């Protein structure tokens, strides 16, 4: 049986519209999804993204704007979707936690944990960051007593009756799970999660009382409580996977997310699934942060650049290319408009675009016909693609550019423009055209529009030159 793959991103909280830091994750997951579709076939790949819409922050944001929470989340979710669409992200479903099927499945999931004896009522007194919608300990706050991720927000002191999840019950299970070196990638993030569990887990509240938070999915065991936003949000992956036949043992389940969400996905989510008697994801890939001009991009700091702003300046594929080559696949990275422009000119205008233009012009001038060579899906299993096994799309992209460099070298060494023997000229140009045709297939997961353009330019027996793919930026 052909393997199936479920690929997900973290769903974005709708207190504000997403920025380029969030968008990196979508493009990363999209690249892997597009690669897997070319490798395994469209029907065997399901790609999920979406928005996380309940919780205190959204309720307060709506009240501040004098609109209902539903009106607020509808607006921001729609704007988020437009930002993701601007980057040509090929999701199969854009899920919203306010979707009716998700609300139903979240309640059913909660009930399974309750039936397993893993949810109980108790008193909670402690600290809470509304920006993270997360409970905090003193050690997790900075010297000013604020959350490092949301330094402009006031930490809330909470004193209330909640229903708790027996997280402590699953400590040994999680430590055993983390022995699998493929469960969390990259390795440094896995070690961080092991260290956190070894410090000792504490049971966590998984409801909030309605008199404090009305905007949430009602707990199935108590109409006076709503399900805690993180418990509800994580279930979105199961909602979509179950509904579409991708949450089963035949499917490779991969979550992509940023390091700020690692603890919930790596430690809470598997414990929740184990409690509910459901299968565990295969891999959780945790990437770093994008910094802009040396400063962390943050909604709360107001240091934000939107995906569509970059697309308007550089184009969709150049932005995708830049993020996939220079994004925070392992560690935090710093980006700037100057660096994007530099990479655009060197790699795309003077690189790929120039090679295609030179080759098309020589092929047209030769007056020769170029037989169309068929490439099967096996080209996506060749050595260049080996890094995809570890989701290192950046390394695989470097491998593709090495192939491109070899074509350039072949052109410069053989000098087709100087060959007068027609048979020799056809041999040289046919090899070069076929190599670039192949490269045009390999780059589809990265820069799909450009890939199709190259296939159109070179995908004929009689080739004609065309306008530059990437006009040089001044």
Q: Which of 82, 210, 296, 410 is catalytic?
A: 296
List b or e across 171-189, with b for residues whose CB sees 16 or more CB atoms inside 10 angstroms.
beebeebbeeeebbbbeeb
Q: Which residues contact 240 (CB under 8 A, 6 or more apart)?
A: 8, 46, 48, 93, 95, 246
Q: Which of 132, 225, 265, 274 is catalytic?
A: 132
Is 255 a known active-site residue? Answer: no
Is 132 a known active-site residue? Answer: yes
Q: Which residues contact 160 (CB under 8 A, 6 or more apart)?
A: 123, 124, 208, 209, 212
> Which tokens is 412 given?
């410069």
The full set of domains in the chain, from first to last, is 4-307 (3.40.50.620), 336-458 (1.10.730.10)
Q: Which of 4, 19, 102, 103 is catalytic?
A: 19
Nearest to 262 by CA among 289, 239, 231, 284: 284
In this prediction, residue 1 carries a pLDDT of 43
Is 147 a known active-site residue? Answer: yes
Q: Which residue bears the tokens 């306010």?
A: 98
pLDDT tens, residue order, the chain (474 aa): 458 999 999 999 998 899 898 999 999 999 999 999 999 999 999 999 999 999 988 898 899 999 999 999 999 999 999 999 999 999 999 999 999 999 999 999 999 999 999 999 999 876 766 665 666 565 566 666 666 665 666 667 777 899 999 999 999 999 999 999 999 999 999 999 999 999 999 999 999 999 999 999 999 999 999 999 889 999 999 999 999 999 999 999 999 999 999 999 999 999 999 999 999 999 999 999 998 877 777 656 667 889 999 999 999 999 999 999 999 999 999 999 999 999 999 999 999 999 999 999 999 999 999 999 889 889 999 999 999 999 999 999 999 999 999 999 999 999 999 999 999 999 999 999 999 999 999 999 999 999 999 999 999 999 999 889 999 998
Side-by-side strand order, sheet with 222-227: 207-209, 222-227, 218-219
Q: Which of 4, 81, 265, 299 is catalytic?
A: 299
Is 19 a known active-site residue? Answer: yes
Instruction: Give the SS3 label for residue 300.
Output: coil
Q: Which of 4, 39, 147, 274 is catalytic?
A: 147
Nearest to 397 by CA among 359, 357, 358, 447: 447
Answer whether 332's CB lies under 8 Å from 291's CB: yes
The CA R_g of the chain, rounded to the nearest whole Å, is: 25
Nearest to 376 by CA among 65, 26, 39, 23: 39
Is 136 a known active-site residue? Answer: no
Is 70 a known active-site residue? Answer: no
In this prediction, residue 36 carries a pLDDT of 97
The rounded distance, in Å, linking the Cα atoms of 261 and 269 is: 11
Residue 332's H or E segment, with its range, is none
In this prediction, residue 359 carries a pLDDT of 96
Is 22 a known active-site residue? Answer: yes
Dihedral sign for Cα atoms in the order 286, 291, 296, 298: negative
Q: Which of 39, 129, 225, 274 is catalytic?
A: 129
Is 31 a known active-site residue? Answer: no
The rounded distance, in Å, linking the Cα atoms of 71 and 54 is: 12
pTM of structure: 0.93
The rounded distance, in Å, linking the Cα atoms of 76 and 82 is: 10
Q: Which of 4, 22, 102, 255 is catalytic?
A: 22
Q: Which of 39, 102, 150, 225 is catalytic?
A: 150
């Amino acid at each position: 049986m052909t393997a199936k793959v479920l690929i997900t991103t973290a769903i974005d909280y709708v207190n504000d519209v997403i920025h380029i830091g969030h968008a990196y994750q979508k493009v990363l997951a999209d690249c892997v999804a597009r690669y897997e579709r070319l490798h395994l076939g469209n029907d065997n790949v399901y790609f999920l993204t979406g928005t996380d819409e309940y919780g205190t922050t959204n309720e307060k944001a709506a009240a501040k704007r004098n609109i209902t929470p539903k009106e607020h989340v509808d607006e921001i979710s729609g704007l988020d979707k437009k930002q993701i669409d601007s980057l040509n992200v090929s999701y199969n479903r854009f899920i919203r936690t306010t979707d009716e099927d998700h609300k139903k499945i979240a309640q059913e999931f909660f009930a399974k944990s309750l039936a397993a004896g893993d949810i109980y009522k108790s008193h909670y007194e402690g600290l809470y960051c509304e920006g993270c919608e997360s409970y905090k300990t003193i050690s997790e706050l900075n010297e000013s007593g604020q959350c490092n991720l949301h330094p402009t927000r006031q930490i809330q002191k909470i004193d209330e009756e909640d229903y708790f999840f027996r997280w402590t019950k699953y400590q040994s299970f999680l430590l055993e799970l983390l022995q699998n070196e493929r469960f969390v990638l990259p390795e440094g993030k896995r070690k961080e999660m092991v260290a956190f569990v070894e410090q000792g887990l504490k049971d966590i509240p998984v409801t909030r009382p309605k008199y404090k938070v009305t905007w949430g999915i009602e707990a199935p065991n108590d109409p006076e409580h709503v399900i805690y936003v993180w418990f509800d949000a994580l279930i979105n992956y199961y909602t979509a996977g179950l509904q579409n036949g991708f949450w089963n043992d035949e499917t490779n389940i991969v979550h992509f997310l940023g390091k700020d969400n690692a603890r919930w996905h790596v430690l809470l989510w598997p414990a929740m699934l184990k409690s509910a008697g459901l299968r565990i994801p295969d891999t959780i890939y945790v990437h770093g942060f994008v910094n802009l001009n040396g400063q962390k991009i943050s909604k709360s700091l107001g240091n934000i650049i939107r995906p569509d702003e970059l697309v308007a300046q550089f184009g969709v594929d150049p932005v995708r290319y830049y993020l996939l080559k220079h994004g925070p696949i392992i560690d935090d990275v710093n980006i700037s408009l100057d660096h994007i422009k530099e990479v655009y000119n060197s790699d795309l205008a003077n690189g790929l675009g120039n090679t295609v233009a030179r080759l098309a012009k020589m092929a047209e001038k030769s007056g020769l016909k170029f037989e169309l060579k068929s490439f099967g899906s096996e080209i996506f299993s060749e050595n260049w693609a080996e890094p995809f096994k570890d989701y290192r799309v950046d390394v695989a992209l470097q491998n593709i550019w090495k192939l491109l460099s070899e074509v350039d070298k072949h052109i410069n060494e053989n000098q087709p423009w100087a060959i007068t023997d027609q048979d020799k000229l056809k041999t040289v140009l046919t090899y070069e055209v076929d190599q670039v045709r192949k490269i045009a297939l390999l780059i589809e997961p990265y820069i799909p529009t450009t890939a199709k353009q190259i296939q159109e330019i070179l995908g004929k027996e009689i080739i004609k030159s065309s306008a530059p793919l990437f006009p040089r930026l001044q």
